[in-house]
Chains A and B, each alone.
Chain A
């Protein structure tokens, strides 16, 4: 609250000098209006001549015009800075993607070679894992950039969330068994198709499943359920691990936010996954949420509109 009143600090945040900063200029404008009203009042007592009042009004209007012109300019500069920043992210990410995809594909060919010895293979697999992690980060940054510029274009169509989830489970089985975690899908009968963008929803499911595996205690089971819920299809995933504190709960879907418990145990996260997941689900006219109890049981869920028959 106090910070909002501190105009200097806000202008510093925008990296703008005081006389060019919209926050400061609005306050100046307010003062000018108050002083002008007082001046009109006072002069009206001594001068009955309407021309004097008219002159004051014209002078004040002229002054306000100048200030508002500066304010508009300031807003344009703020907008320009934000556009330049997102363009920067976009160009950098694209430049990073080309070498990353080259490395990925060359490793794929190398790893196919049955003749390489075990040690070399394990080194190459290590490189591959780091490369994939970097690729995911770059892809996530581009997606975040698109979300923030309202350029997330979804192409919805009817598809089976059950089949998609089965595929994601299959792709993650090896990752889960490394921590002796078991993945189960409870499939209720007659689950209708959902109406959403399959590619993006797959990322959402991958993010939630990836998190569940990462933050589960070893040797536990992660049950997934998909069922019909009025006009929606509801997806749920439960894991047993660390409780999300109520303090962290408020920020869990924010960009770059990472829960304190997660920072301690998993240093490689970026805090982008849940932000992207929420943005995708909400852009698909769905909703998302979670609850976490003291025993460490955490349930993440989302609902997507069912496809019309």
Chain B
């Protein structure tokens, strides 16, 4: 049974690119384009890992992360923040809210992102 990854990202181009990468690496990808969808799908689908952008329509990534951590089903699910925000405040806030890893998109290649995901999943 393939592991499930919930990908919360509002840019459809990135949804496609990262989605293709993860699918070809053998994972099952559940896309969410808004913060609200992300929260709903995290509860309904109980993914093995959540990839989370911080700039999202409706609820932003911080609100989503807070909700994920306070919900019983997902409170231990590893969350990798994948964003282009890089202020010190944002990094600290995301980590203190319980993000597993903080990745700045423009500083990593896709292979490196995949590597981090595999590591967080223990694969």
Contact = CB atoms under 8 A, between A and B. Distances in A.
A102 B110 contact: no
Contacts of B107: 139
B105 A151 contact: no
Contacts of B20: 109
Given A94-B84, A94-B85, A97-B84, A105 B11 contact: no
A77 interface: no
Interface in B51-103: 84-88
Nearest to A95: B84
Interface residues of B, number: 18
- Summarize A's interface: helix, strand, loop or mixed: helix
B109 A101 contact: no
A106 interface: yes
Contacts of B88: 146, 151, 153
B13 A102 contact: yes
Contacts of B85: 94
Given A100-B106, A101-B105, A139-B106, A109 B11 contact: no
B13 A138 contact: no
Contacts, number: 45
B18 A105 contact: yes
B21 interface: yes
B17 interface: yes
A106 B13 contact: yes
A106 B84 contact: no
Interface in B9-30: 11, 13-14, 17-18, 20-21
A151 B14 CA distance: 29
Chain B binding surface SS class: helix
A216 to B, nearest CB: 27
A90 B86 CA distance: 10
B53 to A, nearest CB: 9
A129 to B, nearest CB: 14
Contacts of A153: 88
Chain A CB count within 10 A is highest, among B17, B18, B85, for B17
A135 B109 CA distance: 12
Contact of B106 (A106, A138, A151): A138
Contact of A135 (B14, B17, B21, B106): B106
A219 B111 CA distance: 33
B92 to A, nearest CB: 8
Contacts of A146: 88
Contacts of B18: 105
Nearest to B109: A108
A97 B55 CA distance: 13
A98 interface: yes
17 contacts: A97-B106, A100-B106, A101-B105, A101-B106, A102-B11, A104-B106, A105-B105, A105-B109, A106-B13, A106-B17, A108-B109, A108-B111, A109-B110, A135-B106, A139-B106, A151-B87, A151-B88
Interface of A: 90, 94, 97-98, 100-102, 104-106, 108-109, 135, 138-139, 142, 146, 151, 153
Given A108-B110, A139-B106, 17 more contacts: A94-B84, A94-B85, A97-B105, A97-B106, A98-B11, A98-B105, A101-B84, A104-B106, A105-B14, A105-B105, A105-B109, A106-B17, A108-B109, A109-B21, A135-B106, A138-B106, A151-B87
Interface of B: 11, 13-14, 17-18, 20-21, 84-88, 105-107, 109-111
